[in-house]
Amino acid sequence: MDAVRNNFGLKLLAVALALVGWAYFRFANNPFVAAAQFNQQLAVAITAVNLSPGYVAHFADHDAVLMVAAKRGQPAIKPEEVKAVLDLSGKGPGIYNVPVQLVAPDVVVQSLSPASVTLTVERIQQRAFSLGIRYVGTQNSGTVVSQVRVDPSSAMVRAPTSLLAQVASVVVNLSLPSEAETLDEMVRPVPLSAGGQEVAGLSVTPNLVRVQMRVVAGSTAGK
């Protein structure tokens, strides 16, 4: 009895360690445990593919969230290893509901949101505009603009159909100097809506034009 009680704590610890070691080797080599699956959530960017040249697609859902079942013991799936695509082959102008297709490693997808995306396909068009001049700032009552020249005198605006329809004019904004002066500078053409607001998100060619302006004292104008 004394032999059992002697170093009882150490003996109990040794038994516990033996049980832990047995459990590790018993279950680590069990193929059913090794193959157990666990769920992993990923967020993946949605991209449109196979869209015909000269068209653009607009959609609000830019990310897909998916739950995948990966094997325990295997490396976790990285978001960059999974692609969420919208196949727009043969799609012309119009509104479509397109399923989200996954290109992924050999994993089981438990859930996907959104499963499809509603989008609009538009044609990209272009239109030429004569460049107007818009003076900004406060004009000095003692000076006037004697000459102004814009080169080139027109610009080409390229944008999706709905955006191009918002453009009423293209202007160059010129700040009026406070005294007589001759200016020669490069200025960016600005597309404007009918209400005078800048229309963003389109392409203007050229992106800079040369403006030459002469401002003179009011009494010498025309000389």
For residue 207, the domain's CATH number is: 2.170.120.40
Domain of 199 in residue numbering reads as 124-220
pLDDT (0 to 100) of residue 202: 93
Cβ neighbours around 60 below 10 Å, total: 8
Instruction: With respect to residue 67, please indicate whether it lies within any of the assigned structural domains.
Output: yes
Instruction: With respect to residue 7, please indicate whether it lies within any of the assigned structural domains.
Output: no
Instruction: With respect to residue 161, please indicate whether it lies within any of the assigned structural domains.
Output: yes
Residue 53 per-residue DSSP state:
T
Question: How many domains does one find in the chain?
Answer: 2
Verify that 153 and 204 share a domain, yes or no.
yes
Instruction: With respect to residue 2, please indicate whether it lies within any of the assigned structural domains.
Output: no
Structural domain ending residue among the three candidates 51, 86, 114: 114
pLDDT (0 to 100) of residue 32: 46
Verify that 87 and 165 share a domain, yes or no.
no
Query: Over the stretch 147-189, which tens digit does the pLDDT of each residue have?
Result: 899 999 999 999 999 999 999 999 999 988 878 888 899 999 9
Verify that 185 and 209 share a domain, yes or no.
yes
Q: In this structure, what token pair is assigned to residue 45?
A: 């960017």
Structural domain ending residue among the three candidates 91, 114, 137: 114
pLDDT (0 to 100) of residue 21: 57
For residue 45, the domain's CATH number is: 2.170.120.30
Instruction: With respect to residue 110, please indicate whether it lies within any of the assigned structural domains.
Output: yes
How far apart CA 102 and CA 116 sit, in angstroms, is: 11
DSSP string, 89-150: TT--SEEEEEE-EEE-SS-EEEEEE-SEEEEEEEEEEEEEEEEEEEEESPPPTTEEEEEEEE
Instruction: With respect to residue 22, please indicate whether it lies within any of the assigned structural domains.
Output: no
Structural domain ending residue among the three candidates 114, 139, 165: 114
Verify that 55 and 103 share a domain, yes or no.
yes
How far apart CA 170 and CA 84 sit, in angstroms, is: 39
pLDDT (0 to 100) of residue 223: 45
Instruction: With respect to residue 163, please indicate whether it lies within any of the assigned structural domains.
Output: yes
Verify that 102 and 170 share a domain, yes or no.
no
How far apart CA 48 and CA 100 sit, in angstroms, is: 10
Verify that 75 and 51 share a domain, yes or no.
yes
Contacts of 109 (CB under 8 A, 6+ apart): 66, 67, 68, 69, 102
Verify that 131 and 109 share a domain, yes or no.
no
Residue by residue, pLDDT tens for the chain (223 residues) are 444 455 556 556 665 655 555 555 554 445 444 445 568 889 999 999 999 999 999 999 999 999 988 666 677 788 888 899 999 999 999 999 999 999 887 778 889 999 999 999 999 999 999 999 998 877 666 778 888 999 999 999 999 999 999 999 999 999 888 788 888 999 999 999 999 999 999 999 999 999 999 988 875 544 4
How far apart CA 192 and CA 202 sit, in angstroms, is: 11
